[in-house]
Amino acid sequence: MVQKTDPVQLVREPRDLIEKVNHVFLDDAAALSPPQLSAVVQALKELVERLPQAFDQAAAVLDMLAARDLVVMDTGEDPKSFTAEAAAQLRAAATSSEHLAKELAGPGLGPVPHGRPGFVHVEQQRLSAALGGSC
C-alpha cells in the first residue's frame, strides 16, 4: 500500500524554511551578496506564484467536503454558511496572492543583471556601507 503524503506537513516545510530565511536576513544580512539576495527573491516569487492554485484547490476541496456533508461544526450549527464563507475567503486569498505575484513580476525585482562589469561589486559595497560593516 502506498503511503499518502500529509499535506499539512508539506505546507509546514516551506513555512519553516521561510522562517530560517528571515533569520538569515536578521542575523547575517551583511554576508549576503546581491546575487544571493536576487536568488532568494526569485525563489520567493516562485513560491508566491503557486499560492493562488493552492488556495483555489483548498476551496474546491472544502466545497466537495461540504457537498458530501462531511463538515461538522463543534457548536452543532449547520456548517453550510461557514463552509461557503470559508471557501469564499480562500478564493479571495487566491485572488490576492495573484495580485502579489504580479507585483513581484516587475522588472525591479528581476535577477541581478549579468554582463555588467562591476555591478555586483559596487552593489556589494553599497550594501556593506548601508549596513555599517563590510561584506
Q: Using one digit for the tens of pLDDT, what is the confidence trace for 18-45?
A: 999 999 999 988 888 888 888 888 899 9
Give domain status of residue 19, yes or no.
Answer: no
Q: Using one digit for the tens of pLDDT, what is the confidence trace for 68-115?
A: 999 999 998 999 999 999 999 999 999 999 999 999 887 777 665 554
Give domain status of residue 135, yes or no.
Answer: no
Radius of gyration of the chain, Cα coordinates, nearest whole angstrom: 21
- Determine how many CB atoms are found less than 10 A away from the CB of residue 83: 19
Give domain status of residue 116, yes or no.
Answer: no
All three cell numbers of 72, joined, read 461538522
Give domain status of residue 2, yes or no.
Answer: no
All three cell numbers of 35, joined, read 546575487
Give domain status of residue 8, yes or no.
Answer: no
Q: State which amino acid sits at residue 57.
A: Q
Q: What is the pTM of this model?
A: 0.73
- Identify the domain containing residue 67 by its residue range: 34-105
Give domain status of residue 59, yes or no.
Answer: yes
Q: State which amino acid sits at residue 131.
A: L
Give domain status of residue 91, yes or no.
Answer: yes
Residue among 113, 131, 130 nearest 34 (CA): 113
- 80 three-class SS: helix
Q: Please tell me the distance from the alpha carbon of residue 33 to that of residue 131, in angstroms, as a whole number.
A: 13
Q: How far from the centroid of its chain's Cα atoms is residue 76's Cα?
A: 35
How many domains is the chain built from? Answer: 1
Q: Using one digit for the tens of pLDDT, what is the confidence trace for 61-81?
A: 999 999 999 999 999 899 999
Give domain status of residue 119, yes or no.
Answer: no
